[in-house]
């Protein structure tokens, strides 16, 4: 069991959550002497930086943008006297990729993994009714023993540099909100929900974990604020008559209130919006509330100008408006768990999420997606360090499922992106990961992983683990692009025919396909990188999708242009966006809009 609660921080009758977002003191530890120089007690300099944000794109010096190593953050926080007697936590939405937290000079907590929350229990270390110094050391080095995978090299000038095994910039820092929290000694730690729909009614099987033994009650309110169900006990059933189901683009959210009581006394209260819906795979269908859905949408990134991967509430709003405009109903959180606020918004807007853990770069190559296109085979899982990677991966998966399991929008778990799947050593690794996801999720949501170009029938040893077969394919871009596109189509269909021949009786989904396109480039006749070519490419793949009944969804790569490491393959970033990085449409957006507005939700049912 996790040692701290993953519940989203909220102020309720019994809890307080105070935002620590804003300007923090900031210092890059170029000399690597932070510990020795006592930064834990206070960092040097006067530089201030916003939290949440990636630190990289604010400054004008390249050595800051490319900095690899430890960066230090500091903030003084006032802890109210009336909180004494409660548990006091500092909760980080994420610290990329690892962090150590110090309070008043003392090391309190550390966390590995850059895209999931953690809490530092500071109860015994703060001074009440006084300011307390919070210092955080954040490290952004990439390794092959943690996810996402990559390397850290040292240049001849002595500077370290990140070499990601993945195609997005290694943005880092305190990229999500930080909260100071007060919760009662006996508090709601976690809860699970599972749904059963029978006719017009629904049953919610629940179980609540608390840190004590007092009585628990659970109450459900509808959108009008009327009580819809009430149950007592740490586990039980909420019976909801005439249940309003959570549906695609027609989300109905109930408010679940969990209380711990001691007679008439309220010990703790926690609440969260939930949606009643079921998810199931039957044959080649993805069923939501028993009805088939066809997924239309995107692989995304958390990425925008200036703040990098930092959570930006305005960018989130714009992204949802664009996704609605274009007729999308789903997205994959490529290639890491996103900020919690994005899942809350998807719950509200009725979007379907394939929730991905940060297991990307599990392929021995600096550009896995490129080398895999050439058919290169590697044995990533045969390294001596693989057991360490597996441990970190399992831990991240546990945190992910614990954090996100109660979002109605989350309909599937993506457990890896483009791993190596051709060696025997991959198989036991996959088994552990897939079994763990099943064990942790009471709803037993479908599990998947995104298959790289060379993971094809006859080569891939791991697709049998997937409940949904998710393909990342670039016929017409990395394979036979431009004037050779007609051959790309032939090869594409040939591969799909080979999958079809296997008769897997499972849904297939395209989790990636796309063509780099400069938002500024028009060319008649088309050339690769022009907007005209993106349209030609999309028309080709769409006609392939329409020819196979077992393909139950299309998520184009990518929603928007995004930053990557510089290099000869990328023009200041990956340009496969249907929208620019500034969230304006390229021509392909209008093409997809026309298609997606027309395709019914139960397309190919
Ligand atoms: C992929 C990767 C994604 C890349 C994309 C591309 O297969 O999963 O991270 O950005 O290809 O554009 O090459």
Give pLDDT tens digits for 290-332.
999 999 999 999 999 999 999 999 999 999 999 999 999 999 9
| Residue 369 pLDDT > 90 | no
| Residues 374/417, Cβ–Cβ less than 8 Å | no
Q: How confident is the model at residue 363 (pLDDT cuts 50, 70, 90)?
A: confident
Euclidean distance between CA atoms 561 and 573, whole angstroms: 7
The H-or-E segment that residue 356 falls in is strand 352-356
The pLDDT of residue 141: 98
pLDDT reported for residue 378: 65
Give ligand 1 pocket residues (Cβ under 6 A).
166-167, 335, 369, 417-418, 472, 512, 557, 574, 576
- Distance, CA 417 to ligand 1 centroid (Å)? 9
Percent of the chain with pLDDT over 90: 96
16-183 under CATH 2.60.120.260, yes or no: yes
- Please state, in angstroms and rounded to a whole number, the distance separating the CA atoms of residues 117 and 115: 7
110 contacts 101 by C-beta, under 8 angstroms: yes
For 85, what's the count of Cα atoms within 13 Å in the CB-facing half-sphere?
A: 4
pLDDT for res 370: 60
Q: Binning pLDDT at 50, 70 and 90, where does residue 377 land?
A: low
Print burial letters for 385-410: b (CB count within 10 Å at least 16), e (below 16). ebeebbebbbbbbbbbbbbbbbbbbb
The protein residue with its alpha carbon nearest to ligand 1, atom 2, reads 369
95-132 burial, b at 16+ Cβ within 10 Å, e below that, comes to: bbbbbbbbbbeeebbebbbbbbbbbbebbebbeeeeeb
DSSP state string for 467-524: SSEEEE--BTTTBS-GGGHHHHHHHHHHHHHHHHHH---S-EEEEE----B-TT---S
Count of all residues that appear for the chain in the document: 605
Tokens of 357: 């853990």
Write out the residue limits of the CATH 2.60.40.10 domain(s) in the chain.
Answer: 188-274
φ, ψ of residue 540 to 5 degrees: the values are -65, -50
**Every domain range in the chain assigned CATH 3.20.20.80:** 296-598
Among 302, 303, 464, 478, CA closest to 376 = 478
Enumerate residues 6+ apart whose C-beta is below 8 A from 211: 185, 186, 187, 189
- The yes-or-no verdict on residue 376 having pLDDT over 80 is no
Quick check: 70 pLDDT over 80? yes
Give the pLDDT band of residue 371 (cuts 50, 70, 90). Answer: low
**Nearest atom, ligand 1, residue 574 CA:** 12
Residue 183 pLDDT: 98
3-state helix/strand/coil string of 219-258 = EEECCCCCEEEEEECCEEEEEECCCCCCECCECCCEEEEE
- SS3 (DSSP) at 83: helix
Q: Are 248 and 293 in contact (CB under 8 A)?
A: yes
| pLDDT at residue 47 tops 80 | yes
DSSP one-letter string for 14-42: S-EEEE--EEEEEEE-TTS-TTTTTGGG-
User: What pLDDT, on a 0 to 100 scale, did the predictor assign at position 140?
Assistant: 98
Burial class (CB in 10 A: 0-12, 13-18, 19+), 34: buried
Ligand 1 centroid distance, CA of 167 (Å): 6
Tokens of 195: 């749904």
First-to-final CA distance of the chain: 40
In the reported structure, the alpha carbon of residue 472 is separated from the centroid of ligand 1 by a whole-number distance in angstroms of 8
Q: What are the Cα distances from residue 125, in Å, to 106, 384, 457?
A: 8, 39, 57
pLDDT at 173 over 80: yes
Hey, which residues are catalytic here?
418, 512
Residue 321: its H or E element = helix 313-326
Model pLDDT, residue 383: 87
Min mean pLDDT across 129-138, 181-190, 262-271, 363-372 is at 363-372
Q: Which is the CATH superfamily of the domain at 296-598?
A: Glycosidases (3.20.20.80)
H helix or E strand, kind and range, residue 179:
strand 178-183
Burial per residue of 269-289, b for 16 or more beta-carbon CB atoms within 10 angstroms, e otherwise:
bbbbbbbbbbbbbeebbbbbb
Kindly give the distance from the C-alpha atom of residue 369 to the centroid of ligand 1, in angstroms, as a whole number.
6
On whether the CB atoms of residues 278 and 538 are closer than 8 A, the answer is no
Cα 467 to middle of ligand 1, angstroms: 22
1 falls in which pLDDT band (50, 70, 90)? confident
Take atom 13 of ligand 1 and give the residue whose Cα is closest: 369
Task: Report angle CA 320, 296, 538 to the nearest 5 degrees.
Answer: 110
Q: From atom 4 of ligand 1, which residue's Cα is the shortest distance away?
A: 167
pLDDT at 224: 98
Ligand 1, closest atom to CA 453? Answer: 7
- Give tens-digit pLDDT for 502-539: 999 999 999 999 999 999 999 999 999 999 999 999 99
Q: b/e per residue, 258-268, with b = 16+ CB within 10 A?
A: bbbeeeeeebb
Half-sphere exposure of 268 (CA within 13 A, CB side): 27
Say whether pLDDT at 77 is over 80.
Answer: yes
CATH (residue range 188-274): 2.60.40.10
Output DSSP code: residue 308: B
pLDDT above 70 (res 365):
no
Given a cut of 90, whether residue 188 has pLDDT beyond it is yes
Tell me the C-alpha to C-alpha distance, in Å, between residue 527 and each of 152, 398, 476, 584, 586.
Answer: 37, 45, 12, 22, 16
DSSP state at residue 464: G
Q: Which band of pLDDT confidence, cut at 50, 70 and 90, is reported for residue 2?
A: very high
> What is the average pLDDT score of the chain?
96
Which is the closest atom of ligand 1 to the Cα of 569?
Answer: 13
Taking the CA of residue 372 as reference, the ligand 1 atom at the shortest distance is 7
pLDDT tens-digit series, residues 383-409: 899 999 999 999 999 999 999 999 999
Nearest to 68 by CA among 28, 100, 105: 28
Residue 98: per-residue pLDDT: 98
Domain(s) of CATH 2.60.120.260: residues in the chain:
16-183
């Amino acid at each position: 069991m996790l040692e701290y609660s993953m519940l989203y921080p909220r102020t309720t009758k019994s809890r307080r959550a105070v935002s620590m977002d804003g300007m923090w003191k900031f210092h890059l530890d170029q000399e690597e002497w932070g510990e020795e120089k006592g930064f834990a007690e206070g960092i040097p300099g006067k530089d201030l930086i916003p939290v949440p944000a990636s630190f990289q794109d604010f400054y004008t010096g390249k050595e800051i943008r490319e900095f690899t190593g430890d960066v230090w953050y500091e903030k003084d926080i006032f802890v109210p006297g009336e909180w004494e007697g409660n548990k006091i936590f500092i909760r980080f939405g994420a610290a990329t990729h690892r962090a150590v937290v110090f309070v008043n000079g003392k090391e309190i907590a550390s966390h590995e993994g850059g895209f999931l929350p953690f809490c530092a229990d500071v109860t015994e270390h703060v001074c009440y009714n006084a300011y307390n110094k919070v210092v955080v050391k954040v490290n952004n080095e990439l390794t092959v023993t943690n996810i996402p995978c990559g390397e850290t090299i040292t240049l001849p000038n002595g500077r370290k540099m990140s070499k990601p095994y993945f195609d997005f910039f290694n943005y880092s820092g305190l990229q999500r909100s930080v909260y100071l929290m007060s919760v009662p000694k006996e508090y709601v730690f976690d809860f699970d929900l599972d749904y059963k729909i029978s006719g017009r009614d629904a049953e919610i099987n629940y179980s609540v974990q608390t840190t004590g033994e007092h009585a628990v009650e659970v109450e459900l309110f509808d959108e009008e604020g009327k009580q819809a169900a009430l149950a007592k006990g740490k586990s039980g059933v909420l019976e909801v008559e005439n249940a309003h189901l959570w549906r695609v683009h027609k989300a109905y959210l109930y408010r679940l209130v969990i209380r711990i009581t001691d007679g008439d006394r309220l010990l703790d209260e926690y609440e969260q919006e939930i949606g009643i819906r079921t998810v199931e795979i039957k044959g080649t269908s993805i069923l939501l509330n028993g009805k088939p859905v066809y997924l239309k949408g995107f692989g995304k990134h958390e990425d925008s100008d200036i703040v990098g991967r930092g959570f930006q509430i305005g960018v989130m709003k714009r992204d949802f408006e664009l996704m609605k405009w274009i007729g999308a109903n789903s997205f994959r959180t490529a290639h890491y768990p996103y900020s919690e606020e994005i899942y809350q918004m998807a719950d509200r807007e009725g979007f379907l999420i394939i929730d991905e853990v940060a297991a990307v770069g599990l392929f021995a190559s600096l550009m896995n997606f490129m080398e895999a296109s050439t058919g290169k085979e590697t044995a990533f899982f045969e390294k001596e360090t693989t057991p360490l990677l597996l441990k970190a991966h399992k831990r991240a998966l546990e945190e992910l499922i614990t954090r996100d399991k109660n979002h109605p929008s989350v309909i599937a778990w993506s457990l890896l992106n483009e791993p190596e799947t051709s060696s025997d050593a991959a198989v036991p690794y996959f088994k552990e990961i897939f079994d763990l996801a099943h064990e942790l999720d009471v709803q037993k949501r479908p599990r998947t992983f995104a298959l790289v170009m060379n993971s094809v029938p006859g080569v891939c040893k791991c697709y049998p683990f997937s409940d949904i077969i998710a393909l990342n394919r670039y016929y017409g871009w990395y394979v036979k692009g431009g004037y050779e596109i007609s051959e790309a189509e032939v090869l594409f269909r040939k591969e799909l025919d080979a999958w079809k021949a296997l008769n897997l009786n499972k849904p297939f989904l395209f989790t990636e396909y796309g063509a780099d396109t400069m938002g500024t480039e028009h060319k008649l006749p088309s050339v690769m990188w022009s907007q005209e070519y993106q349209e030609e490419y999309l028309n080709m793949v769409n006609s392939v999708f329409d020819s196979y009944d077992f393909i139950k969804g299309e998520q184009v790569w990518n929603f928007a242009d995004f930053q990557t490491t510089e290099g000869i393959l990328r023009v200041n970033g990956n340009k496969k966006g249907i929208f620019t990085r500034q969230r304006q449409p390229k021509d392909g957006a209008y093409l997809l809009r026309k298609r997606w507005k027309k395709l019914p939700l139960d397309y190919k049912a």
